[in-house]
């Protein structure tokens, strides 16, 4: 009975560690999404800042800014795929974290039941031992 309680306690500790690991991985995946979205926003801001000031400008300036704007747009659109992939990964990791949390809670409940069963068994055994001594003493007095 004691071995069962120890085993359940060990399982509960392992499940808690697994949940912490899953939570850490999920947080990292979510941080990656935020990082990519921030980079995409910075590229969009940089792209928007390429407007020409009022006044005369040369064709070389127009061509250079147009080329730079095109490259920034290409880079930003390239991040769209990475962002979508990172979001899918983050959602998967959040689901894995929730699953790990459910396993942890289940293990904790089993551990509590095992402890309760051990307590009940110990109390019943002590009561049986006490009754047998009391009964033997009473039989000797008759």
Structure tokens at 125: 């055994």
Tens-digit pLDDT profile for residues 42-76:
998 888 887 766 667 777 877 888 888 899 889 99
- Please report the domains of the chain, with CATH numbers, ordered by start residue: 2-52+60-141 (1.10.287)
Check: pTM over 0.85? Answer yes or no.
no
Helix axes 2-48, 59-141, angle to 10 degrees: 170
Contact 35, 83 (CB under 8 A): no
Distance between CA 32 and CA 79 in Å, rounded? Answer: 12
Contact 111, 16 (CB under 8 A): no
- Where would I find the beta strands (DSSP E) of the chain? none
Structure tokens at 88: 């899918």
Tens-digit pLDDT profile for residues 77-117:
889 999 999 999 999 999 999 999 999 999 999 889 888 98
């Amino acid at each position: 009975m004691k071995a069962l309680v120890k085993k359940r306690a060990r399982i509960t500790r392992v499940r808690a560690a697994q949940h912490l690991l899953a939570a850490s991985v999920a947080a990292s995946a979510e941080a990656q999404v935020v990082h990519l979205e921030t980079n995409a926003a910075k590229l969009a801001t940089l792209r928007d800042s390429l407007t020409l000031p009022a006044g005369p400008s040369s064709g070389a300036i127009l061509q250079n800014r147009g080329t730079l704007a095109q490259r920034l747009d290409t880079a930003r659109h390239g991040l769209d795929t990475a962002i979508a992939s990172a979001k899918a990964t983050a959602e998967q990791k959040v689901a894995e974290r929730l699953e790990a949390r459910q396993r942890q809670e289940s293990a904790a409940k089993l551990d509590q039941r095992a402890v309760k069963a051990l307590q009940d068994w110990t109390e019943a055994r002590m009561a049986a031992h006490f009754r047998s001594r009391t009964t033997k003493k009473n039989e000797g007095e008759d």
